[in-house]
């Protein structure tokens, strides 16, 4: 009989989730083939904010979000938009999302979300040591700035929730903000600081790790879209690409926002909606700020990335669509000087912005799970706004699901069947 570790595992998707899955599968001694339709980090893993976020313990469907979302829908410069369309999958997703936007779901989820983000941050440190790759990993925390009473209320409520799960969070006055980051020309009325958060350069991480793996025998094929599967007895025995079929013993579906399109070929419905966001990256000014920021009311993320600084935001439920909406990109850029002084003259052509699609589930947790329909398929998708943060956690868990070492209790919150 074939030894377990001589199994061939195909990973579909060369984003943070696919590459981290390949990393831990390779560590376990499996033969790993990674298939990417485009280039490594071509999807959402490229130009995102790169935050590693124990602070993001509030799931996307949170109490009050529906009301807020409806208000935002009326404003073409708001950070949220749903492209109106008669799409059954979207309607069913929204219905489920509405059901999860409760205080009960929040309290059930927040400690777990914090814990898996923290666990992932530790795995990032290990990966950096094991691989000696430099991807700009720094633990400098995350500072939320607010300018209005509404923003202050949001930060105070978050601080209260953070206390409930023993997550360090400090409300700061302007003079304390100045002390925390002397490079920051703060204009905000106050802030909330999460010291446990970290950040990195996401593209450097994903491409660096893929190259590292390739040098060590992982077979990485870019420009290789998986178009279908070869099935025998409820088992995937191969995947089809335009060039050739690849045989395999197990398949990891890690293709982010595109996962539902491919899972349909297997008769599996994944409740994942693409949620588009934008970012703009420019050179840092001479006296650079160091600490990553969230502009609370505007929902804009700001990430110092060495010589550059990145501004990102917006969540548009508009299907698979990478088109740039210049008005919303401009809204991101216009928000910045309301909070900080260095960027009064941001002269950026909005059409040069990057766009990416977050793969969002209705409950704000990813799907990391085998399926009942196909015995050797593992879904690793649906990470929404925390896919960079959770990538090592996900990859490590995927490898243990394959090897049979993952316990049912640790997989339970992430199973696909929770949506049945
Ligand atoms: C503006 C913005 C800011 C964000 N900020 C953060 C942040 O600060 N922290 C954080 O944790 N997350 C953040 N995110 C979310 C994060 O980017 C995603 O959760 C994460 O990148 C998802 O990774 P993934 O590997 O699942 O998907 P992707 O990175 O999208 O990778 C999927 C890959 O699969 C490939 N693919 C698709 N179909 C096929 C096929 N048929 N065959 C082969 N390959 C295929 C695609 O080309 C793509 O490369 C942000 C997102 C946005 C848009």
For 146-172, letters b (16+ CB in 10 Å) and e give: bbeeebbebbeebbebbeebebebeeb
Domain finish residue from 360, 375, 397: 360
Q: Is residue 189 located within the same domain as residue 315? A: yes
Q: Are residues 379 and 343 in the same domain?
A: no
CATH number at residue 76: 3.30.9.10
Examine the domain organization and report whether 264 and 137 are in the same domain. Answer: no
**Domain match, 60 and 145 both:** yes
pLDDT of 168 strictly over 80: yes
Q: Looking at the structure, do residues 147 and 226 belong to the same domain, yes or no?
A: no
- Name the token pair of 415: 């199973």
**Structure tokens, 305:** 């990335």
Q: Do residues 229 and 183 both lie within one domain?
A: no
Q: Would you give the DSSP letter of residue 332?
A: H
Instruction: Determine how many CB atoms are found less than 10 A away from the CB of residue 333.
Output: 20
Task: Check: CB of residue 384 under 8 Å from CB of residue 58.
Answer: no
- Asked if the model's pLDDT at residue 100 lies above 60, the reply is yes
User: Does residue 33 belong to any structural domain of this protein?
Assistant: yes
Distance of CA 252 to the CA centre of its chain: 17
Are 41 and 190 members of one domain?
A: no
The span from the CA of 203 to the CA of 209, in Å, is 10
| Residues at CB less than 6 angstroms from ligand 1 | 12-18, 35-38, 42-45, 48-51, 225-226, 254-258, 262, 277-279, 301, 312, 356, 358-359, 381, 383-389
Q: Are residues 9 and 117 in the same domain?
A: no
The answer, yes or no, to whether ipTM is higher than 0.90 is: yes
What is the tens place of the pLDDT at every residue in 230-253? 999 999 999 999 999 999 999 999
Atom of ligand 1 at shortest range from CA of 225: 42
Render pLDDT for 364-408 as a digit per residue (tens, 0 to 9): 999 999 999 999 999 999 999 999 999 999 999 999 999 999 999
Ligand 1 centre distance from Cα of residue 116 (Å):
18
Total domain count for the chain? 2
Angstrom CA distances, 89 to 160, 242, 266, 329, 359, stand at 36, 28, 17, 27, 14
**Which ligand 1 atom lies nearest to the CA of residue 224?**
43
For range 119-137, the mean pLDDT = 98
d(CA 180, CA 173): 11
User: Do both 39 and 142 map to the same domain?
Assistant: no
Q: What's the pLDDT score for residue 4?
A: 67
Q: Whose CA is nearest to atom 12 of ligand 1?
A: 386
In a domain, residue 245? The reply is yes
Cross-strand pairs, 221: 35
CATH of the domain at 240: 3.50.50.60
**Contact at 8 Å (CB) between 402 and 356?**
no
- Which among 309, 328, 360 is the end of a domain? 360
What percentage of residues in the chain have a pLDDT greater than 90?
92
Ligand 1: atom nearest CA of 35 is 43
Q: What is the DSSP letter of 350?
A: G
DSSP character at residue 289: -
347: containing domain: 55-198+272-360
108, 88: one domain = yes
Residue 105 shares a structural domain with residue 245: no
For residue 50, is it within any domain? no
The confidence band for 2, taking pLDDT boundaries of 50, 70 and 90, is very low
Q: How far apart, in whole angstroms, are the C-alpha atoms of residue 353 and residue 314?
A: 12
- Encode pLDDT of 301-338 as tens digits: 999 999 999 999 999 999 999 999 999 999 999 999 99
pLDDT of residue 346: 83
Query: Given a cut of 80, is residue 5 above it in pLDDT?
Result: no
Query: How confident is residue 1, by pLDDT bands cut at 50, 70 and 90?
Result: very low
């Amino acid at each position: 009989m074939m030894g377990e570790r001589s199994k061939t595992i195909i990973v579909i998707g060369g984003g943070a989730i696919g590459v981290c899955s390949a990393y831990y599968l390779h560590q376990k001694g499996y033969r790993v083939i990674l298939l990417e339709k485009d280039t490594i980090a071509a999807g959402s893993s490229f130009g995102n904010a790169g935050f590693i976020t124990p602070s993001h313990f509030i799931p996307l469907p949170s109490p009050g979000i529906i009301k807020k979302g409806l208000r935002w829908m009326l404003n073409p410069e708001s950070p949220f938009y749903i492209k109106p369309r008669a799409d059954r999958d979207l309607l069913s997703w929204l219905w489920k999302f509405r059901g999860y936007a409760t205080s009960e779901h929040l309290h059930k989820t927040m400690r777990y979300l914090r814990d898996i983000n923290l666990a992932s941050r530790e795995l990032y440190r290990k990966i950096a040591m094991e691989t000696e790759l430099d991807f700009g990993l720094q633990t400098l925390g995350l500072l939320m700035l607010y300018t209005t009473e509404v923003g202050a209320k949001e930060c105070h409520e978050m601080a209260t929730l953070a206390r409930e799960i023993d997550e360090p969070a400090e409300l700061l006055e302007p003079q304390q903000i100045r002390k925390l980051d002397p490079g920051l020309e703060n204009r905000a009325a106050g802030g909330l600081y999460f010291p446990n958060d970290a950040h990195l350069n996401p593209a450097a991480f994903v491409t660096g790790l893929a190259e590292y793996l390739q040098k060590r025998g992982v077979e990485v094929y870019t420009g290789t879209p998986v178009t279908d599967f070869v099935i025998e007895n409820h088992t995937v025995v191969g995947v089809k690409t335009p060039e050739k079929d690849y045989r395999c013993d197990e398949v990891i579906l890690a293709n982010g926002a595109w996962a539902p399109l491919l899972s349909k070929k297997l008769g599996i419905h994944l409740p994942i909606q693409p949620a588009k966001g934008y970012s703009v990256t420019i050179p840092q000014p001479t006296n650079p700020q160091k600490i990553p920021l969230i502009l609370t009311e505007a929902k804009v993320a700001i990430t110092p990335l060495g010589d550059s600084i990145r501004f990102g935001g917006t969540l548009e439920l508009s299907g698979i669509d990478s088109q740039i909406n210049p008005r919303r990109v401009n809204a991101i850029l216009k928000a910045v000087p309301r909070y900080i002084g260095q960027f009064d003259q941001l002269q950026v052509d909005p059409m040069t912005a990057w766009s990416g699609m977050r793969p969002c589930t209705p409950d704000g947790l990813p799907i990391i799970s085998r399926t009942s329909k196909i015995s050797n398929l593992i879904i690793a998708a649906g990470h929404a706004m925390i896919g960079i943060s959770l990538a090592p956690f996900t990859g490590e868990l995927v490898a243990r699901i394959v090897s049979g070492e993952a316990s049912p209790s640790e997989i339970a919150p992430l199973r696909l069947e929770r949506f049945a």
